[in-house]
Structure 1
Amino acid sequence: MTPRDLTFVLGGARSGKSAHAEQLADRSALPVTYIATARVGNDAEFAARIAHHRERRPAHWRLVEADADLAGALAQADAAGHCVLIDCLTLWLANLLCPADGEAVSLDRYHAHVAALEAALVAARGKVIVVSNEIGLGVVPLGAATRLYVDELGRLNQRIAALSTQATFMAAGLPLALKTADHV
């Protein structure tokens, strides 16, 4: 059995986490599939952010735009001798908890998606890099929906960090090793 190669990169907004994850993927010298979780909608500023990410990535990387079934997208992209970069859990969670169709949030459905993602990460045969925001460093947010989001992202980040062989926290563009392959 091949040992899991799962790197978790997290940090705040504009901390350099995506750029760092992209550098790790590029340095792997493996074919890369980039799984994007963003949903653009009618937000021009957010569309510009996505365009910036696209411009920064090598053109030869394969792009997959994942919906709620991130586990399925990972399973399809995963292969031995291949690198999959998922950017990011923060937006995936937002899509699950705030569906575009305005449908009521189903925590059971959300938890099923998280369990499926965990299973796909455990089963992965290639190198996987997962990006997420760390948003729980501030005050307790006002509003039940925002508290739910912050709490669920914190729980999700803990679950992925526990599975990871390496974890890095980004601050001001600087990587801080939280977990190394030597200390799994």
Structure 2
Amino acid sequence: MPHDIHFVLGGARSGKSRTAENLAFDRFKAMTSDDAQLLYIATAQAFDDEMQARIDLHQQRRGDAWKLIEAPIDLANTVKLYNSPQIVMMIDCLSVWVTNLLIGDHNIKAETEKLCHNLENSQATIYCVASETGLGIVPDNALSRQFRDESGLLNQHVAALADHVYFVTAGLISKLKP
């Protein structure tokens, strides 16, 4: 069975996660198999109260149909582990994952290649969420510029292999691909 990858991009608080959640949930509801699973692959880690509040908001909004899998670093292997046509998974978010790799001094290029390989070879229906970070000002420090660049390169790779790409602005959805 060929892969079915949906990529949802947008700025901060654009509605991209809610859009991906709705798309994934609708796909899950349309599945006829009793073995179907709806997975939320979370990359965020609560290092402070503000991030915990964001995580709590997402959890409240999703409801009980979702099974939570936390993958702040080992995202590629998590995608590979849940390689089944009975799975609908949402990865939220690739930009946070890049941040985790960056601050953990991981090999971002190698992890990106592994993730893209596992996405492309998965039989699951996958919804990836990422921030579009290249539309603002040029950051004033090297670490922020590295994040922007690594995130932009990952977004290009995922968009190239995705079957569907959406851009969300102010809660409005624009379909970019196909």
- Alignment match of 1:145 (pick from 143, 146, 152): 143
Cα offsets for 1:127-149 (capped at 9, x unmatched): 00000000100121111111111
- Alignment match of 1:83 (pick from 83, 88, 92): 88
RMSD of the alignment, in Å?
1.0
SS of alignment partner, residue 75 of structure 1: helix
Task: Give the TM-score, by structure 1 length.
Answer: 0.90
Task: Give the TM-score, by structure 2 length.
Answer: 0.93
Q: Which runs of 5+ in 2 are unaligned?
A: 32-36
- Alignment match of 1:165 (pick from 156, 163, 166): 163
Give the structure 2 partner of residue 32 of structure 1.
38
Matching residue's letter, 2:44: A
Report 1:70-109 matches (<5 A): 70-99=75-104, 105-106=105-106, 109=107
Give the structure 2 partner of residue 102 of structure 1.
none
Q: How far 1:14 moved relative to its partner?
A: 0.4
How far apart in 2 are the matches of 1:78 and 1:67? Answer: 19
Checking the alignment, whether the CA contact within 8 Å between 2:45 and 2:51 is kept in structure 1 is no
User: How many pairs were matched up?
Assistant: 171
Identical positions, percent: 42
Q: Which runs of 5+ in 1 are unaligned?
A: 100-104
List, as ranges, runs of 4+ consecutive aligned residues in structure 1 with deviation greater than 2 Å.
none
Give the structure 2 partner of residue 127 of structure 1.
125
How far apart in 2 are the matches of 1:110 and 1:11? Answer: 22
Give the structure 2 partner of residue 114 of structure 1.
112
Q: How far 1:82 moved relative to its partner?
A: 1.6
1:10 aligns with 2:9: yes
SS of alignment partner, residue 13 of structure 1: coil
Give the structure 1 partner of residue 34 of structure 2.
none
SS of alignment partner, residue 95 of structure 1: helix
Cα offsets for 1:63-94 (capped at 9, x unmatched): 10003110111111231122010000011000
Give the structure 2 partner of residue 54 of structure 1.
59
Q: How far 1:58 moved relative to its partner?
A: 2.4
How far apart in 2 are the matches of 1:155 and 1:129? Answer: 18
SS of alignment partner, residue 6 of structure 2: strand
How far apart in 1 are the matches of 2:52 and 2:93? Answer: 15
1:64 aligns with 2:69: yes
How far apart in 2 are the matches of 1:76 and 1:34? Answer: 14
How far apart in 1 are the matches of 2:51 and 2:73? Answer: 19
